[in-house]
């Protein structure tokens, strides 16, 4: 279907939809069944059977399987079967870990998918773009990705960038008129919008005519969906560490085998023991556990309303030393409310908060109504120069659109003006707001075919463009005295933390061109709105927590300097001697000059997105790790340049979200603090289980090495070594990855991003605890064996049990950088359950008679258990009181 050839009415008829009502629920369900989800087919997942087989492709596991085959051929059936079962169980654990990580990452992709503004049942609602169907009516604003192929039915200076399709980066101007040509390429179909392309300017409404693989983008889907999984810096570090550990483990294992053979042990038994020891000692499960820990932490972040788009951000969060945050919506409620109006030189006060339409206007203590000169006209102009709409849900008004526009609508409603009044005016043209212009204009035509322009924006932008102003007696020339009074009103409002919006008008002759650069000049200044967006209640404590964590919070806003300072002081963000810089001052400073003052600056006011990039670079040159928030298209460069780009999930554009590494689902500053806390905790949890795994592995190698050097019999048989690896390395290590943050995690300085895995004394902790675990296990074996030289199995059972118990006790020491006694063990119920499960599995192989011949174990008495527990506790108790 050549949709570009059809006029709007014909498109609506063919798709059985009207652009002012949208689809109903029944139509949506029918079309979803007919066309499927609005997604591009990506690369297929690895089949589950292949993922399972991949768990056994490790070289050491293959060697072990070959060794068990030899054992079977030599008649050692019990050992061979036992080892095969353990390897199989270990493979199953690895498989489920990878499955969980893959599902978590798929969930993240789904959550971070673009959202679309869709009209259904006459109500605009935001939905996941994958849920769009053919016939949906979609609204798009500057910065949005077009979610499907659409036929444009309304364009307000809309332009799109289609380089993903055409390779041409110049924006394409869009309109809604049908095109008669028969064979047009996509780039020439200027009344169409295509999936994946970007709205760079203006706004528009369109009807979806193609979804998923039935779009132009679907035809080149292979270019769009072959996304390669990138490893995080931490995963790369651990991969390098893994290679080193493999070499060390193999060298030590070879030493154990060589010494054992030299001491007279059979070559075959030493080879099997050596391979089992290598399999147990090499932390081959470390990458999988890291991936699971990262994904579990990311899921916790999602519950705290933060979506991680790039896993590398999880590590970087723990290093953040500066948060550059937007004010509006992030530190404040984003529910703008008009509290004052300046008109005719008078200051009026408005009652009512938030999006409640109940409220009145007062001049001092006198209530006023629509008879007040110019007030009703000013409120009407605010309604017309507006892209927001009011929706009623569950008896409450909600604003669909910009909160500032919403505040103007609510202010008009309080005076009794409704949207039906605005219907008497026809929109001729819109000149959209952008952060450089700091204003928005519309040209409307009334019932008498008279045209006029309405402009709203920052007072310091509109006043220089105004030639006249309105007073009670009518229009007057805007002289110095009038300008001074207006500026004084602006300052008074700003001191109360009110954001000021000015509004002006201008008559436009019917024959005048609407494309002149001077169309917004010679305005008649009507009045000022003073509105407040109250600070979020939780932000002040979040800023204080960040301060204790060594993280500086900086407010960045386009608001008036006095408004910004007032809000910053309310939030206790601006210290007594803290600097406040304005945009025009930033223009005069070079990056090196900004570096000199940036550590003392806490508020940046009247800034543009270009200033944000300058601020990021100055902080980075001072050695800071910078988190930067943003929501607009022009924020994307600063977000991309920052160490941690943070976009707004509710108000942010799709471009900004794609440039960011973290998306705030609630646009709340407190969520940034929670994300940093969780990021620090994830990194610490990864350190915890690295410490636990490596200390345990050191202990396992050393007990065998010491025994061989002392010419003792094997303290552990191969099946026991593998069982220790299965029982102690799996569940407890995973449970450490689910540990809650320590109480002082937000009272520590930010982590140095160049910090090694073994920093802060972790290398010493691993070696010291590993040596002690190995020693107590060897002592348990020696004392038991020397007292019962004819009962080697008894000695091996005691050594086996001591090694397992020492590791299970040691896991609680790994929960804290400080003393083991600084944390309640029952805080992490998963760890308690994991340890109990491991203990139960240990008891099964000791006391269930059918398994005793397989695992070379015998019954242990209560006296044996007291002896074992005392020895097992020594490594943890010995070091557990100290930080070292």
Q: How many domains does the chain have?
A: 4
Question: What tokens were used for 20?
Answer: 């002012």
**Any domain includes 271:** no
Q: Is residue 99 assigned to a domain?
A: yes
Residues of the chain with pLDDT under 50: 43, 105, 108, 111-112, 222-230
> 3-state DSSP helix/strand/coil percent for the chain, to nearest 5?
50, 20, 30
Residues 841 and 743 in one domain: yes
Place of tokens 């340890």: 835
* 525 phi-psi bin (left φ>0, alpha ψ -120 to 50, beta other): beta
Cα 717 from Cα 313, distance rounded (Å): 44
Angle, vertex CA 425, rays to CA 420 and CA 426, nearest 5: 120
C-alpha 504/C-alpha 520 separation (Å) is 9
Tell me whether residue 700 is in a domain.
Answer: no
- Cα(559)–Cα(554) distance, integer angstroms: 14
Burial of 830 (0-12, 13-18, 19+ CB in 10 A): middle
Which has the closest alpha carbon to 420: 452, 383, 368?
A: 383
> How far apart are the C-alpha atoms of 365 and 6, rounded to whole Å?
59
CA 437/CA 519 separation, integer angstroms: 14
What was the pLDDT predicted at 63? 58
- Give SS3 for 248: helix
Based on the fold, state whether residues 727 and 760 are members of the same structural domain: yes
Question: Which structural domain range is residue 298 located in?
Answer: 284-302+675-695+714-879
Q: What angle do CA 338, 386, 483 make, to 5 degrees?
A: 60
In the block, tokens 């005519």 appear at 209
pLDDT, position 112: 46
Task: Identify the pLDDT of residue 224.
Answer: 37
524 with 425, same domain: the answer is yes
As given in the structure block, the two tokens for residue 177 are: 């008129």
Q: In whole angstroms, what is the distance from residue 80 CA to residue 89 CA?
A: 14
Asked if residues 495 and 478 have their Cβ atoms less than 8 Å apart, the reply is no
Say if residue 75 is exposed, middle or buried (CB neighbours under 10 Å; 0-12, 13-18, 19+).
exposed
Q: Which helix (H) or strand (E) holds 473?
A: none
> Residues 263, 265, 271, 274: is their CA dihedral positive or negative?
negative
Kindly report, residue by residue over 729-768, the tens digit of the pLDDT: 777 888 887 888 888 889 989 988 778 778 888 888 999 9
Q: Are residues 288 and 435 in the same domain?
A: no
DSSP structural state of residue 749:
P
Please report whether residue 258 resides in a domain: no
* Rounded Cα–Cα distance for residues 322 and 554 (Å): 7
Residues 490 and 627 in one domain: no
Q: What pLDDT sits at residue 618? A: 95
Based on the fold, state whether residues 637 and 611 are members of the same structural domain: yes
Q: Are 79 and 68 in contact (CB under 8 A)?
A: yes
CATH number at residue 743: 1.20.1110.10
C-alpha dihedral over 70, 76, 79, 83, to 10 degrees?
20
Residue 404 Rama label (left phi>0; alpha psi -120 to 50; beta): alpha
Measured distance CA(616)–CA(606) in Å, rounded: 16
Q: Residue 709: inside a domain, yes or no?
A: no
Same domain, 423 and 518: yes
Nearest Cα to Cα of residue 643 among 559, 742, 760, 750: 750
Pair 283, 730: CB distance under 8 Å:
no
Same domain, 747 and 759: yes
Task: State the pairing for strand pair 361-363/366-368.
Answer: antiparallel
| Catalytic-role residue among 131, 136, 149, 326 | 326
* pLDDT value at residue 596: 94
Count of CB atoms situated within 10 Å of the CB of 807: 29
> CATH number for the domain including 320?
3.40.50.1000
Q: Taking CA 329 as the corner, what is the angle to CA 325 and CA 335, rounded to the nearest 5 degrees? A: 160
Determine the angle formed by the axes of helices 792-813 and 762-787, rounding to 10 degrees.
160
Which of 483, 506, 532 lies at the terminal end of a domain, its last residue?
A: 532
Closest CA relative to residue 295, chosen from 96, 551, 56: 96
Are residue 369 and residue 314 in the same domain, yes or no?
no
Give a yes or no: residue 253 inside a domain.
no
Could you identify the residue written with the tokens 């768990």? 55
Is the domain of 633 the same as that of 752?
no
Domain's final residue, options 512, 532, 552: 532
pTM here? 0.71
Question: What's the CA gap between 567 and 497, in Å, rounded?
Answer: 6
**Helices (runs of H) and strands (runs of E) counted in the chain:** 32, 28
Structure tokens that stand for 353 in this block: 């908060």
Q: Are residues 292 and 327 in the same domain?
A: no
CATH number where 139 lies: 2.70.150.10
pLDDT of residue 225: 42
Query: Which 3 state secondary structure label does DSSP give 771?
Result: helix
State which of 207, 229, 251 marks the end of a domain: 229
pLDDT by residue (tens digit) across 289-321? 676 777 777 778 888 888 887 777 887 888 899
Q: Are 19 and 12 in contact (CB under 8 A)?
A: yes
Pairs from 357-362 (Cβ < 8 Å, separation ≥ 24): 357/397, 357/410, 357/413, 357/414, 358/414, 359/410, 359/414, 360/414, 361/414, 361/415
The Cα-based distances of 242 to 238, 257, 287 in angstroms read 6, 22, 9
Question: CATH code at 520?
Answer: 3.40.1110.10
User: What does the DSSP 8-state code read for residue 147?
Assistant: -
Is 326 designated active site?
yes
561 and 502 in one domain? no
In a domain, 156, yes or no: yes
Query: Does residue 417 lie in a domain region?
Result: yes
């Amino acid at each position: 279907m050549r949709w570009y050839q059809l006029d709007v009415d014909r498109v609506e008829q063919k798709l059985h939809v009207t652009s002012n009502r949208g689809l109903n629920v029944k139509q949506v369900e029918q079309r979803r069944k007919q066309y499927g989800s609005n997604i591009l087919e990506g690369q297929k997942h690895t089949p589950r059977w292949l993922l399972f087989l991949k768990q056994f492709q490790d070289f050491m596991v293959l060697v072990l399987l070959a060794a068990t085959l030899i054992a079977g051929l030599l008649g050692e059936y019990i050992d061979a079967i036992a080892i095969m079962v353990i390897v199989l169980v270990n493979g199953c654990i690895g498989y489920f870990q990878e499955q969980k990580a893959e599902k978590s990452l798929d969930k993240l992709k789904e959550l971070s998918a673009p959202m679309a503004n869709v009209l259904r049942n006459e109500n605009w609602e935001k939905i996941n773009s994958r849920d769009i169907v053919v016939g949906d009516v979609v609204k798009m604003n500057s910065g949005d990705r077009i979610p499907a192929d659409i036929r444009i039915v309304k364009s307000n200076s809309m332009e799109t960038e289609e380089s993903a399709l055409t390779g041409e980066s110049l924006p394409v101007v869009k309109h809604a008129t049908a095109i008669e040509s028969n064979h047009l390429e996509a780039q020439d179909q200027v009344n169409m919008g295509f999936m994946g392309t970007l709205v760079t300017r203006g706004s528009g409404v369109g009807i979806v005519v193609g979804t998923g693989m039935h779009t132009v983008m679907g035809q080149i889907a292979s270019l769009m969906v072959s996304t390669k999984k990138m490893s995080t810096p931490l995963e790369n570090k651990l991969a390098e560490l893994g290679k080193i550990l493999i070499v060390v483990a193999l060298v030590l294992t070879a030493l154990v085998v060589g010494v054992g053979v030299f001491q007279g042990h059979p070559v075959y038994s030493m080879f099997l023991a050596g391979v089992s020891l290598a399999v147990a000692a090499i932390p081959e499960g470390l990458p999988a556990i890291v991936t699971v820990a990262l994904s579990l932490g990311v899921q916790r972040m999602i519950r705290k309303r933060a979506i991680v788009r790039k896993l590398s951000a999880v590590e970087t969060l723990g290093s953040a030393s500066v948060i550059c945050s937007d004010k509006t919506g992030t530190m404040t409620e984003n529910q703008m409310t008009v509290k004052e109006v300046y008109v005719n030189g008078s200051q009026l006060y408005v009652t009512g908060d938030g999006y409640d339409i109940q409220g009145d206007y007062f001049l001092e203590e006198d209530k006023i109504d629509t008879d007040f000169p110019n007030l009703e006209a000013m409120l009407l102009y605010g309604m017309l120069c507006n892209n927001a709409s009011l929706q009623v849900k569950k008896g409450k008004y909600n604003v669909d659109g910009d909160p500032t526009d919403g505040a103007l609508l609510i202010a008009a409603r309080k005076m009794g003006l409704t949207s039906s009044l605005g219907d008497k005016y026809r929109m001729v043209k819109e000149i959209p707001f952008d952060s450089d212009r700091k204003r928005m204009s519309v040209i409307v035509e009334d019932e008498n075919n008279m045209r006029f322009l309405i402009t709203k924006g920052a007072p310091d932008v509109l006043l220089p463009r105004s030639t006249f102003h309105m007073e009670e007696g009518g229009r007057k020339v805007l002289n110095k005295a009038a300008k001074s009074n207006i500026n004084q009103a602006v300052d008074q409002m700003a001191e109360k933390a009110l954001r000021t919006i000015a509004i002006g008008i201008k008559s436009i002759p019917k024959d005048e061109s609407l494309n002149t650069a001077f169309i917004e000049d010679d305005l008649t200044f009507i009045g000022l709105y003073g509105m407040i967006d109250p600070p979020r209640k939780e932000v002040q404590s979040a800023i204080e927590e960040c301060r204790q964590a060594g993280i500086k919070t900086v407010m960045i806003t386009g608001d008036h300097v006095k408004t910004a300072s007032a809000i910053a002081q309310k939030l206790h963000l601006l210290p007594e001697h803290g600097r406040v810089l304005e945009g025009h001052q930033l223009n005069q400073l070079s990056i090196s000059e900004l570096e000199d003052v940036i550590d003392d600056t806490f508020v940046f006011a009247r800034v543009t997105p270009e200033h944000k990039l300058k601020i990021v670079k100055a902080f980075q040159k001072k050695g800071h790790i910078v988190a930067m928030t943003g929501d607009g298209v022009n924020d994307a460069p600063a977000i991309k340049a920052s160490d941690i780009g943070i976009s707004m999930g509710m108000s942010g554009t799709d471009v900004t979200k794609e440039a960011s590494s973290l998306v705030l689902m609630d646009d709340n500053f407190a969520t940034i603090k929670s994300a940093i806390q969780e990021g620090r905790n994830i990194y610490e949890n990864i350190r915890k289980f690295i410490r636990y795994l490596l200390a345990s592995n050191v202990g396992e190698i050393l007990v065998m090495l010491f025994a061989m050097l002392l010419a003792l019999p094997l303290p552990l048989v191969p099946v026991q070594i593998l069982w220790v690896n299965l029982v102690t390395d799996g569940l407890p290590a995973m449970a450490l990855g689910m540990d809650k943050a320590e109480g002082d995690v937000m009272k520590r300085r930010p982590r140095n991003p160049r910090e090694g895995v073994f920093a802060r004394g972790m290398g010493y902790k691993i070696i010291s605890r590993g040596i002690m675990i190995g020693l107590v296990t060897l002592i348990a074996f020696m004392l038991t064996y020397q007292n019962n030289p004819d009962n080697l199995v008894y000695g091996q059972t005691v050594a086996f049990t001591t090694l397992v118990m020492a590791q299970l006790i040691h896991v609680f020491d790994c929960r804290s950088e400080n003393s083991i006694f600084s944390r309640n063990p029952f805080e992490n119920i998963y760890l308690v359950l994991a340890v109990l499960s491991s203990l139960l599995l240990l008891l099964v192989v000791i006391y269930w008679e059918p398994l005793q011949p397989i695992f070379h174990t015998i019954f242990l008495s209560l006296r044996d258990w007291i002896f074992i527990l005392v020895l097992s506790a020594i490594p943890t108790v010995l070091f557990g009181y100290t930080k070292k």
